[in-house]
Structure 1
Amino acid sequence: MTTSTLASIVQTVADNIPPTKATVTGKVPSWLRGGRLLRVGPGMFDVGDRSSFKHWFDGLAMLHSFEFAEDANDVTYTGRFLETSVYKKSKAAGRLVGDLFGTRSSATTRSDPCETIFGRSLSQYTPSTPGRGSDNTNVNVLPSSSSDKWIALAELTSVWQFDPVSLETKERVHIVGSNPELNRMITMTAHPHAASDSGMYNVGLLPGARSNASYYAIFKTDASEKYASELVCLLPAHDGLSYYHSFGITDRYFIFVESPLKLALWRAARSRDVSFADCMYWVHDKPSRFRLVDRKTSKEIVDVTYEADPFFCFHHVNAFEDDANGRLVVDVVSYPNGKIALESASLEELRGGGEAVECDFRRFFLPLDATGVTKVESEVLSDRYALELPRINYESRNGRPYRFAYGLGLSSPSRTFHDGLIKLNTETKETLEFFEENMYASEPIFVEAPDPKTEDDGVVLTVFLSGNPDEKKPFLLVLDATSFEEIARAEFACRIPTTFHGNFLPAARLPDSPSIS
């Protein structure tokens, strides 16, 4: 039996990957035809001989398109680097120019702190020119307010627009613009939530400087081409700033988890050897707090303090109001130690084979009639399977009661990286699974069928990467979302690097744009 290695999926791709047609087995559903799966992730982990990155989250952004032919049972893959400033400058210099999540650049000096990943934090949060700073948006891709552009995001205050058909890089847009209430913001999540009027909600970090307090800012970005943003609510930080990656939303509430994974940004300001990731530390004896904001009043609910045992989550799965029991239900992928979770994604760790990190799919219950300090009860919905990079039927179930979640899973406790997918029934805790030997799975994307009859009426799309590139080829998998059985797979005779997040662009929403060539 062959042995897979994680190192194979975290190696640098030297250049763009030209259109490559797949060998398809099975039959792609007709309603997927003409659409494409778009994803983004790290494609380059070193530049020249002098710049080797330290963390999985550092890799320079690469866009990926899996195009379903309109009139045939064909799939074509294309990979193209996002031509960000840090990418172009680093390629030209033959070394990293600009700071990344876990790697600081020797080419970035104190004399120009705005070229760092969080330049404002390293210059004592003095407001700088909007749009400057690191722009390596390698975490997520979403349709933008304009039908002919998509945006690539990371935990940065600017996004890159790109053409979803050609993958051509377009414009960089600074989300907070000139809004004086937000001009101290140095990060925002790469997981905004859709607003009912086609805008989007997000959470940003406003660090204090000198006598200023630190805040988390919930803000709304409109649906115009200018991406104008307005403040919804400021949440004062408790016990120092916390690192976070996502947040929750329901019809009535915004849900923000303030975990004991804290940020000491002053460390990076004092030393050129300290990255943003190095500024994080875990406070094991501090609780995690759930902060609720009433969407109608745009004010935090302050007569209750919801506390849970210490945990960190990269990803909120969903949340909803359980009116029958007078409570708010919040589902997350929970880690008992956030610092360990982040360190497990270092390139040294992954290339060394990786190590399984404890986490579970956990449901928290917040009583809405509570006052004062309230201990939040929770229930594990799945402990064997982490269900990381979780997805749901977002369009019909986000912020509402739901039954099904899809995520990455481990075929056995001895596995150190996700080698398959899990479908979880949140009501019965029953699971369906799909695993592939010596392969590594990517985030599952649920695509709803036309005229759906049930919540899980549709398909799940994922990309499996090879742990043995010389022996097994990567492939796009199409699963029946209801039965979790294979419908089709498209195998590619080229290398495909790892990705983080993505979304499906149906044919009906394709812009009038030149094809990839």
Structure 2
Amino acid sequence: MSGDYRLGLKTLDDEIVVDRLPVRGELPSWLAGTLIRNGPAMFDHAGKSFRHWFDGQAMLHRFEFTGGPDGGVSYANRLLDTLNVQSLRERGRIGYQEFATDPCASLFGRFFTRFTRGTSANGCVNVTEVNGRSLAVSETNLAVQFEPETLATVGVIRYGPEASGLVTTAHPHAAPGTRDLVNYMLKFGRHSRYVVYRQGPADAAPTVVGEIPADLPGYVHSFAITEHHVVLAIFPLVVNPLSFLLRNRPFIDNYRWRPELGLRIVVLDLVSGTLRADCRAPAAFAFHHINAYEDGNAIVMDLCAYPDAGIVDVFRLERLRDGEVLPPCRPTRYHIDPDAGTVEVATLVDQTLDLARINYGRHNGRPYRYAYGCGADQATSNFFDRLVKLDVTDRTVTVWREDGCFPGEPVFIAAPGSSAEDEGVVLSVVLDATAGRSSLLVLDARSFTELARGDVPHAIPYGFHGQFTRARPT
């Protein structure tokens, strides 16, 4: 393969604005709005390096589509102005703890400072809108608010209950039907517990839906929702909360893989908080859910499932830069029978798929057919090197790939007035390692063929998630 994939793991700290990118191909005339993507960008500074892909300091990238027959796309990027970025720039040192990087011996102090003051925002955050505010949401009870027009950091705010926990997910959901914000907090203690909550309009206080006790809390990066239920997959990558106090280790290094515990799946009623199911499946690990929905009295949950938690260590910068092959991550279906307390597990296709997205507005928490994600050759790929369209009904895949190109998470945008689930486009930031720059790729979602791409003048480091906002009618 031509091009060096490691270009996507180099620091980018230049901030630019380009009013009109050169576009190859033709953009759909209806495509008007803004895509904001997030990902790590500052991995190394003044001789100091973070240890994990997740730990690189966050940068926002804005692509704005003007639409119409002469439509184009502009680009701007900007680092989130966090205390760790300030520490690196002003003092030349890493000042605050990250996912796998700890700058000092006092782990306990840094750990609780980080989760109560919002001292840092690494690249492993999700760009979303919560109660009308544009936020970079992290795996804490805090989020960095930014101005979408300028990407300027506005401040750090809470987006969960005031009686907040220490750890949450960067993937809150909009409840089907009501669009209420739904998320959870993990409260560490002698008796740790996951607290599921929901929040309506901006002026409404969050309310607790229910609590799930956990003697050994597992690392949970995301969760699933259906029309009437919240579904937590608690993986057997677990921690004794005392480890944070007694061991001098970064956050994730306190967790241990315990496959004998199995994968714990908990289903709560979204309104009453009633426990519908608390069952076990064979051990697996995942960062991202694909979707979940109700099938009669049963629950169907689809995961991007790894065989174990080894991917957490593979994503350490040293190992990524050394060329380690990614382990397989297969789309896996869990069919949960709450009455019987049983789970049936089936692999949907034998194809790596992670960073999955769906037609969220219409099918989140409901039956669906198509998902879009990043894939890799299971034998040779050092990083995600293809985009995959998954048909969960036929259990088939369609692949887009190009030699030397490494795409990021695909974001589906439905065409105005569309009726078919896959009528629209898929957007992905693609690193062309051979050309030494990135492009915004636009694919027809149905045929999965290229429509256009806008070329960015530099290489954008590998990112995580993005949010598209349609332009308001004038």
Coarse TM-score class (shorter-chain normalised):
over 0.9
Structure 1 residue aligned with 2:256: 281
8 Å Cα contact 1:135-1:156 kept in structure 2: no
Matches within 5 A, 1:110-149: 113=109, 116-119=110-113, 130-136=116-122, 138-146=124-132, 149=133
Shift of 1:173: 0.6
For 1:198 and 1:334, locate their aligned partners in 2 and report how far apart those are by CA, in whole Å: 27
Q: Secondary structure of 1:12's match?
A: coil
Determine helix, strand or coil for the equivalent of 1:103. Answer: coil
User: 2:293 & 2:41 partners in 1: Cα distance?
Assistant: 36
Consecutive unaligned residues of structure 1, counting only runs of 5 or more, are 122-129, 511-517
TM-score, normalised by the number of residues in structure 2: 0.94
Question: Residue 256 of structure 1 contacts residue 291 of structure 1 at CA under 8 Å; is this kept in 2?
Answer: yes
Match of 1:105 in 2: 103
* Cα pair distance change 1:268/1:48, threshold 3 Å: farther
1:327 corresponding residue in structure 2: 298
Mapped to 1, the partners of 2:114 and 2:135 lie a distance apart of: 23
Shift of 1:472: 4.4
* 1:88–1:199 CA distance, 2 compared to 1 (3 A): farther
Matched AA of 2:322:
G
Within 5 Å, give how 1:110-509 maps onto structure 2.
Answer: 113=109, 116-119=110-113, 130-136=116-122, 138-146=124-132, 149-176=133-160, 178-179=162-163, 182=164, 185-195=165-175, 196-208=177-189, 212-224=190-202, 228-238=205-215, 240-272=216-248, 274-301=249-276, 305-323=278-296, 326-338=297-309, 340-371=310-341, 374=342, 376-383=343-350, 385-411=351-377, 413-468=379-434, 471-508=435-472
Q: Which amino acid aligns with 2:49?
A: S
Matches within 5 A, 1:4-83: 4-19=3-18, 21-33=20-32, 35-49=33-47, 51-70=48-67, 72-83=70-81
Deviation at 1:270, TM superposition (A): 2.8
| Mapped partners of 1:314, 1:331: distance in 2 | 12
Q: Quick one: distance in 2 between partners of 1:54 and 1:250? A: 36
Q: Is the 1:134–1:156 contact (alpha carbons within 8 Å) kept by the matching residues of 2?
A: no
Contact 2:262 2:282 in 1 (8 A): yes
Distance 1:250 1:342 in 2: 28
Taking the aligned partners of 1:268 and 1:253, their CA distance within structure 2 comes to 32
CA contact (8 A) 1:150 1:163 kept: yes
Q: Secondary structure at the match of 1:86?
A: helix
Distance 1:444 1:413, change over 3 A: same
Relative to 1, partners in 2 of residues 1:269 and 1:62: Cα closer, same or farther, differing over 3 Å? Answer: same
Q: Distance in 2 between matches of 1:418 and 1:137?
A: 17
Contact residue 117 and residue 134 of structure 1 kept, 8 A: no
- How much does 1:77 deviate? 1.8
What is the rounded CA distance, in whole Å, between the counterparts of 2:469 and 2:25 in structure 1? 21
Structure-1-length-normalised TM-score? 0.86
How far off its partner does 1:137 sit? 6.3
Deviation string, structure 1 residues 419-461 (Cα, Å, up to 9, x no partner)? 1111111010121110011111100000011011201111000
- Could you tell me whether the CA contact under 8 Å between 1:349 and 1:355 is conserved in 2? no
2 CA distance for matches of 1:467 and 1:55? 21
* SS in structure 1 at match of 2:287: coil
Give % identity.
35
Structure 2: runs of 5 or more not aligned: none
Aligned amino acid, residue 325 of structure 2:
E
Distance 1:93 1:480 in 2: 47
Q: Do the aligned residues in 2 keep the contact of 1:242 with 1:259 (CA within 8 Å)?
A: yes
**Separation of aligned partners in 2, 1:156 and 1:305:** 25
Query: Does structure 2 retain, via aligned residues, the 8 Å contact 1:21–1:492?
Result: no
In structure 2, give the amino acid aligned to 1:201.
Answer: V
- In structure 2, the CA distance between the partners of 1:219 and 1:133, relative to structure 1 (3 Å rule), is farther
Instruction: Determine if contact 1:265/1:276 at 8 Å carries over to the other structure.
Output: no
Letter in 1 for 2:185: G
Q: Which deviates more from structure 2 when the two are superposed, residues 66-75 or residues 97-106? A: 66-75
SS of match in other structure, 1:91: helix
Looking at structure 2, the residues matched to 63 and 14 of structure 1 have their Cα atoms a distance apart, in angstroms, of 11
Q: 1:144 Cα shift?
A: 2.8
Q: Would the alpha carbon gap of residues 356 and 136 (structure 1) be closer, same or farther in structure 2, given more than 3 Å must change? A: closer
| Backbone CA RMSD of aligned residues | 2.1
The Cα of 1:20 is off from its aligned counterpart by 6.2
